[in-house]
Structure 1
Amino acid sequence: MDESIGLDQRHPAKYWHALDDGRIQCDICPRDCKLHEGQRGLCFVRGRADKQLVLTTYGRSSGFCIDPIEKKPLNHFYPGSSVFSFGTAGCNLACKFCQNWDISKSREMDRLMDAASPEEIARMARLNGSKSVAFTYNDPVVFFEYALDAADACHERGLKTVAVTAGYIHDAPRREFFSKMDAANIDLKAFSENFYVKLTGGHLQPVLDTLAYVH
């Protein structure tokens, strides 16, 4: 058994398939990372263990904060209310101007993270009087399974859900992800393919596709 991904970091992940050459491919985003046993994708938090794709940050958060909803920023979505913000670690872009690089590109996840189940996220948000919960700080696309389970727990407690994301995601997971979100801020970083390639390590079109989908 490969130990480069710890036994306590192996939550089964969705959206992947096996390749003919023995690798598996992550299908969550347009990077299509192809992985041998023990390897992680560019996001660093989705990787291969025991011949399957796993999420290594499920149930662990890099931090919590109570924010005004306008800070997300969202306009006309329960104005004046509080939102319970949290994130994990990792990102599927490589922006050279990232303001949260210490979280999005962290390799010391155990040092950064506090345990928090989806139910605990919802409970803490309700306890602190928040109207909604925001998946933010790093991109929730990379902690897809954790975000969706947390969204379900929030909805069960009457809380709204907010995604703050760069929108770099494939079509099938996009549909499932946004079906659980009540509001979203899609971070369009520029208007040219050249900018995306040179400064984010990604491509523009998938982000435009996400914007068109949520609109």
Structure 2
Amino acid sequence: MDKALPWQEEAPDGRLICTLCPRACTLRDGQRGMCFVRKREGDAIVLETYGRSTGFSIDPIEKKPLNHFLPGTPVLSFGTAGCNLACKFCQNHEISKSREVASLSVRATPEMIAKAALRDGCASVAFTYNDPVIFFEYALDTAKACHEAGLKSVAVTAGYISPAPRPAFFDAMDAANIDLKGFSERFYRDLTGASLAPVLDTIRYAVQEARTWVELTVLLIPGENDGPAELEALCQWVVETCGPDVPVHFSAFHPDFRMLDHKRTPV
């Protein structure tokens, strides 16, 4: 079920560069990217999780969370393995950080997923649990199958995607909840192993240029990204860049993965 991918360039030393996300992993034959699921085989990079899901659930759409897209309807949620971020607070790390792709996964073609969603009375399918950016081709093919069946497609994503593939990704998504994990480069560098700037650019694009309905989520971690000045700057940026009508969900942190020593968000 592997699928060769178009998002690659050849480096001067012969390695292949994966250009799907800002990490731009450079791979020798047999090497995997940081996401673990995109691997070089010969002269191509392949997605090893194409057609393989780590699990399914029927949820209320509000759980994604989306409060202004098909409210009150059920959504079929599914994901794969791997992730292109390294969040120390990951609450799905058993899936996103797993290296046991084959043993965790079951066969699930795009057509099978659309048929299952229709059978169970869902109005949409959500790509979640791990980030659909890293299973880009699988997500887009599934979104196409859903649209052909009269279903909507939903992305739950951290928005860490390169500019070139970004239009195709959001063109396939009817709605997206984008995790804005913090509002400082320090937070992104130290706690996610990524960078804030590409995420802000993705949010700007999704709101201003795509047809996708967008809502944002911020996980508040005490002492890390919940300072009044940072939250004020974040909200001001959202209003100025996205407008006052883009919802922002503030969610509560609980100790998990590599941040078990941190306190829960007060409620």
**TM-score in same-fold range (> 0.5):** yes
Kindly state the Cα deviation for residue 14 of structure 1 after the two structures are TM-superposed. Answer: 2.4
1:207 maps to what in 2? 199
2:15 maps to what in 1? 23
Task: Give the aligned CA root-mean-square deviation in angstroms.
Answer: 0.7
**Is 1:100 paired with 2:88?**
no
Distance in 2, matches of 1:117 and 1:80, equals: 27
Distance in 1, matches of 2:41 and 2:63, equals: 38
Q: Bigger radius of gyration, 1 or 2?
A: 2
2:166 maps to what in 1? 174
Q: Please, which of 56, 69, 72 is the counterpart of residue 64 of structure 1? A: 56
* Structure 2 spans left out of the alignment, 5+ residues: 208-267
Q: Please, which of 161, 174, 183 is the counterpart of residue 191 of structure 1? A: 183
Distance in 2, matches of 1:11 and 1:214, equals: 26
* Structure 1 spans left out of the alignment, 5+ residues: 1-7
Distance in 1, matches of 2:46 and 2:144, equals: 20
- The structure, 1 or 2, with the larger RCO (C-alpha pairs under 8 Å, 6+ apart) is 1
2:124 maps to what in 1? 132
Instruction: Tell me the SS of whatever aligns to 2:142.
Output: helix
Instruction: Tell me the SS of whatever aligns to 2:165.
Output: helix
- Tell whether the 8 Å contact from 1:61 to 1:115 is kept in structure 2 after alignment: yes
1:76 partner letter: H
1:78 maps to what in 2? 70
- Tell whether the 8 Å contact from 1:139 to 1:165 is kept in structure 2 after alignment: yes
Kindly state the Cα deviation for residue 199 of structure 1 after the two structures are TM-superposed. Answer: 0.4
2:247 maps to what in 1? none
1:85 partner letter: S
Distance in 1, matches of 2:37 and 2:56, equals: 19
Kindly state the Cα deviation for residue 40 of structure 1 after the two structures are TM-superposed. Answer: 0.1
Moved over 3 A (4+): none
1:3 maps to what in 2? none
Q: Deviations over 1:64-116 (max 9, x none)?
A: 00000000000121111000000000000000000000100110111111100
Q: Percent identity?
A: 65
Mapping of 1:114-153 within 5 angstroms? 114-153=106-145
1:71 partner letter: K
Distance in 2, matches of 1:11 and 1:50, equals: 13
